[in-house]
Structure 1
Amino acid sequence: MDNLGSPEKPTFIDLFSGCGGLSLGLSQSGWQGLFAIERAEGAFETFKSNFLDEASSHRFEWPSWLPKNAHSIDDVLTDHEEELRKLRNRVDLIAGGPPCQGFSFAGKRNSADPRNKMFQRYVSFVKLINPKFLVLENVPGMNVAHTKSGNVSAKKGQTYYEKLRIALGELDYTVGEMILDAADFGVPQRRARLVVIGVRSDLARRLPTGVTGVFNCIALEGKQQLQSLGQGKHVTARQAISDLEVGNGAASNGRTLEYLGDGSRQGYFQKNYQAVLSSEYQRRMNEGVRPSEMDSMRLARHSQDVRERFKEILEHCRRHRRLGMNLSAEDREWFGLRKFRTVPMSADMVSPTLTTLPDDIIHYADWRILTVRECARLQSFPDWFVFRSKYTTGGDRRKVECPRYTQVGNAVPPLLAEAIGRGIRSAWSAVGVKVLKLSGKKTIYRKKEIMMVR
């Protein structure tokens, strides 16, 4: 078995990586990425631009045997089983966020959705690699039973989380779970997620309080991030994106310019960005980025009728103090909206949960939907992080394409992932195992304990 001590630069593999939110957070917390698996070509193009470029500050140590393009996890397991076996006991962490559409309360919660079974591929990878730690992120619905009569309280063996826990237990992992809200980690967005942590049992036995201790360390990291970014309070939407406002009517004069970036077409504009930063969160997100380097700033091209409707919705909800809440059925009927979810933001609250649909949320001040960059800010992606592929897609193409709004909406918030990465490292360091060979003996040093082993 490999050394159980904590290395200076522990390694990880990211499965179902999407555009790289989980990878970014882990990298920022001191982990070294080896490779990632993502099937959607658009999402992988974004991942590649940020983690495989020569100039990347978080460059992955990509193996020569795996082509640097989009892959399905099934193909990698089938085509590269021999290479994966050679990594056994040589990787510290496997992370991943399997597709969650079949679990999500925002969707149809289809128990027959084939994406629900992707966690089984995750388990197959774990069996081959046998890493020390596991991280799996999903929506809370993964731990709610699917039945023909609807959602019921979780019972042992019914939920996909329980199936996952049992499967990993058979591989000799100690597994725990907790619902974490990204807002408690400095992310300016209300986003509850099920986070599963697994620790290989030989290491779990040496952790002072097991998986519970890992979650305690993660929570402590979250408090420190929240103190740094919001002085202990949740970061609001205004604190996150006020520097990206463009105004309405005459107030927008001089604050926009023609959009000339990827996917530019006649009639599109973007914020004429001046980097007037007004919060610690904005300063951290924008650190080291010149105004001309701001990516994915294209504004939606709304008709005047749509803008007027957004204006009325914002004013109506302010009068009734219902900003930050989904419009009621009566409101939707009054405004002639067919969409089930339309949320006018509140400037002084955290953002509502971002989805993959850009028109789910109305900006708190401007009469428009959010830009990709604003969504990225609300997910805690720094401004240097670039996004590739289309901005949006529709119809049947939504099943195969992964445009920018979808990439951001599906991502793990990097700040949440960073706290997870730091928390695991902090708990791991408590093991304090160092092996030295002295006079033909091994001396194992533990915290408050020295034991001689022949």
Structure 2
Amino acid sequence: MVSSSPTCVDLFAGCGGLSLGLKQAGFQIKLAVEKSEMAAETYYHNLIRPIQDADEWRNYYENRNLEDQAESGLVVRELSDVLRSKAILSRLRESEIDVVAGGPPCQGFSSAGNRNPSDERNKLPWQFLEFIEKVKPKIVIIENVAGMQFDFLKHGTKSPFEDLWTALSATDPGYQVQPMVLNAKHFGVPQHRPRVFLVGLREDLVGKYSLGITAKIWDSSIDSPQVAVLGDRPLLAPKRTHFDNNRNEVGPGYFTVKDAISDLMTENYSETSSLSEFAREMREDTSYLKAVVFDPQANKRPNNHVFRQHSDLVMERFSLYQFLRDANIHRSVLAIPKKTGLSEHAQRKLLHAAIANVKYPAKDGNGSILANAQPTLMHLIRKLATKKHSQRALFWGRPAPTVVSMPDDFVHPVQPRIPTVRELARFQSFPDAFEFRSKETTGAHRRRFQVPQYSQVGNAVPPRLAFALGYHLREVMEMLQQKQGLTRKPDVA
């Protein structure tokens, strides 16, 4: 039995994936901070109050002052603005916040020497740590991309991950820090999404107890039911719940692309008697959301499920990607006709070698014939040639690859189109009642300062991963309270 109503602050909150997961784990989100009014609009609509019209939202983020926004639970400003508010910081400190969580951009972070004060990537982690120092939460959660731990290794210097780890440990009042790599697919999310976490426990709570916090990076990929028996899982690491059943692991198997989106083949819900466990939960989960009540029986069209329009040539290329996936031919074959410095004879030789083992007819993901013989397939590859390597057709039977902010990196498993916002949100484990706001996508030159729906989804922490970590940390806090006889102040109404 876990203790009731622990409190949390979510910094760099985005559209609210981390907050939603923590709310589902029983946390009260006392404050969220997000500078983008586009991502904040989605957060507000789902987790604060349903937005009835655009003027209402515009008035909130443009005209309400900082302290009023904080009272409502969402500040649409830079974190630096919050750090200048003595009233907000004093209220949070008096509330004895249990957890402060967030994912500050850390690629340019350095805790020692040669810090560029004009580099925003450097400022934000320091602002995060300054907030920790002023509020002094019991637990700190920092989340970032898994590659951050390796970024500087090729240069023989510390990674930003190591620097932040060191800096958090030394932040007053001092934290014992457990580094982790957690993959979302290990916690019931239909997506291969490894992320690094630093979870810090305040020194005074550790006291004299040996709590199994280690300097070694814990990776959820090595977790198993046997680990709990052996006692090797660190105290602050959540227990893995889903496994690769192809390896005969004990426990539920990974959720797949098919589990996630096979009921979304049209712009309305598909009528199916074989709805997957995951899809059913996504349809039915309306808990902890403030938005207008969502009923999948009445709402035949899911939120944010709009098929994007593609040219005939692009759709033909998408169908070819599906064939290449099934034929186990790398998609870079489409770049061969674009290679400069190669004669036509050399190009033909490379193409012939790449498709030498194809069995005809060549079909797309839906079973339509693309080519009956090698010359036709060679012609099709030349016709649809592209230098773009990032696009790939999804596999029905696997978890999705890591969802990113670029909507056109993925091709639907059987239809010649990119996934909708809702389909990518399913890969992230957002329930269908969670409605993404603002524009759907934006031009490349505006992505530096705009956060449309596709980017909101790609940047988010999967709610189910946040739930797994949050629920586990609640249990840790209860254990500490039992050990040390700690008592919480009553919540202020």
1:64-83 equivalent positions in 2, closer than 5 A: 64=68, 66=70, 68=74, 70-78=76-84, 80-83=85-88
Gaps of 5+ in 2: 52-65, 110-115, 215-230, 286-294, 339-380, 488-493
SS at match of 1:84: helix
Of 241, 254, 259, 2:261 maps to 241
Show the counterpart of 1:176.
Answer: 178
Shift of 1:427: 1.9
Of 18, 23, 26, 2:19 maps to 23
Distance 1:166 1:412 in 2: 23
Query: Cα deviation per residue 1:66-91 (whole Å; 9 max; x = unaligned)?
Result: 2655211112212x134303422610
Distance 1:424 1:25 in 2: 13
**Structure 1 residues 49 and 173: CA distance shift in structure 2, 3 A:** same
On the 8 A contact 2:186/2:242 being kept in 1, the answer is no
SS at match of 1:282: helix
User: Does structure 1 residue 188 correspond to structure 2 residue 190?
Assistant: yes
User: Does structure 1 residue 36 correspond to structure 2 residue 54?
Assistant: no
**Structure 1 residues 65 and 319: CA distance shift in structure 2, 3 A:** closer
Distance 1:218 1:226 in 2: 23
Say which is worse superposed, 21-30 or 91-100, in terms of deviation.
91-100
Distance 1:421 1:11 in 2: 11
On the 8 A contact 1:207/1:427 being kept in 2, the answer is no
On the 8 A contact 2:3/2:474 being kept in 1, the answer is no
User: Does structure 1 residue 314 correspond to structure 2 residue 322?
Assistant: yes
On the 8 A contact 1:190/1:353 being kept in 2, the answer is yes
Query: Cα deviation per residue 1:217-242 (whole Å; 9 max; x = unaligned)?
Result: 66554317999xx9521111101110
Show the counterpart of 2:240.
Answer: 222
Distance 1:329 1:368 in 2: 18
On the 8 A contact 1:271/1:299 being kept in 2, the answer is no
Distance 1:189 1:49 in 2: 26
Of 397, 412, 432, 1:383 maps to 432
Distance 1:275 1:206 in 2: 57
Show the counterpart of 2:395.
Answer: 346
Query: Cα deviation per residue 1:199-256 (whole Å; 9 max; x = unaligned)?
Result: 00011236652435996466554317999xx95211111011100123xxxxxxxxxx
Query: Cα deviation per residue 1:365-423 (whole Å; 9 max; x = unaligned)?
Result: 11110000000000010111110011100133211110000000000011110000011
**Structure 1 residues 445 and 319: CA distance shift in structure 2, 3 A:** closer
Say which is worse superposed, 205-214 or 357-366, in terms of deviation.
205-214
Query: Cα deviation per residue 1:112-143 (whole Å; 9 max; x = unaligned)?
Result: 96325421111011011000000010012322
What's the TM-score once normalised by structure 1's chain length? 0.77
* Residue type of the alignment partner of 1:152: K
1:391-410 equivalent positions in 2, closer than 5 A: 391-410=440-459
**Structure 1 residues 385 and 130: CA distance shift in structure 2, 3 A:** same
Show the counterpart of 2:146.
Answer: 140
Show the counterpart of 2:161.
Answer: 161
Distance 2:232 2:83 in 1: 30
* Residue type of the alignment partner of 2:458: G
On the 8 A contact 1:27/1:33 being kept in 2, the answer is yes
**Structure 1 residues 222 and 133: CA distance shift in structure 2, 3 A:** same
On the 8 A contact 1:343/1:352 being kept in 2, the answer is no
Distance 1:405 1:276 in 2: 30
**Structure 1 residues 44 and 233: CA distance shift in structure 2, 3 A:** same
Show the counterpart of 1:97.
Answer: 103
Show the counterpart of 2:89.
Answer: 84
On the 8 A contact 1:144/1:153 being kept in 2, the answer is no
Distance 2:93 2:414 in 1: 53
On the 8 A contact 1:199/1:211 being kept in 2, the answer is no
Shift of 1:328: 5.9
**Structure 1 residues 138 and 310: CA distance shift in structure 2, 3 A:** same
Distance 1:207 1:152 in 2: 38
Show the counterpart of 2:136.
Answer: 130
- Length, aligned pairs only: 387
Show the counterpart of 1:261.
Answer: none
Show the counterpart of 1:420.
Answer: 469
* Residue type of the alignment partner of 1:319: A
Of 258, 262, 276, 1:279 maps to 276
Distance 2:251 2:483 in 1: 38
**Structure 1 residues 241 and 403: CA distance shift in structure 2, 3 A:** same
On the 8 A contact 1:204/1:211 being kept in 2, the answer is no
Shift of 1:329: 7.2
Distance 2:156 2:471 in 1: 30
Shift of 1:316: 2.3
Distance 2:132 2:243 in 1: 30
Shift of 1:320: 2.2
On the 8 A contact 2:335/2:387 being kept in 1, the answer is no
Shift of 1:279: 1.1
- State the identity %: 36
What's the TM-score once normalised by structure 2's chain length? 0.71
User: Does structure 1 residue 305 correspond to structure 2 residue 313?
Assistant: yes
SS at match of 2:437: coil
Query: Cα deviation per residue 1:412-454 (whole Å; 9 max; x = unaligned)?
Result: 011110000011112222224388xxxxxxxx499xxxxxxxx
Query: Cα deviation per residue 1:283-312 (whole Å; 9 max; x = unaligned)?
Result: 111115325162101101011221111111
Distance 1:381 1:115 in 2: 28
Shift of 1:278: 1.9
Query: Cα deviation per residue 1:146-194 (whole Å; 9 max; x = unaligned)?
Result: 3xxxx52875xx2222222222222211112111111111111111100
Shift of 1:144: 2.4
Show the counterpart of 1:45.
Answer: 41
**Structure 1 residues 429 and 69: CA distance shift in structure 2, 3 A:** closer
**Structure 1 residues 214 and 160: CA distance shift in structure 2, 3 A:** farther
Higher alpha-carbon Rg: 2
* Residue type of the alignment partner of 1:401: Q
SS at match of 1:367: coil
Shift of 1:52: 0.5
On the 8 A contact 1:297/1:373 being kept in 2, the answer is yes
Distance 1:287 1:332 in 2: 48
Shift of 1:96: 0.2
* Residue type of the alignment partner of 1:374: E
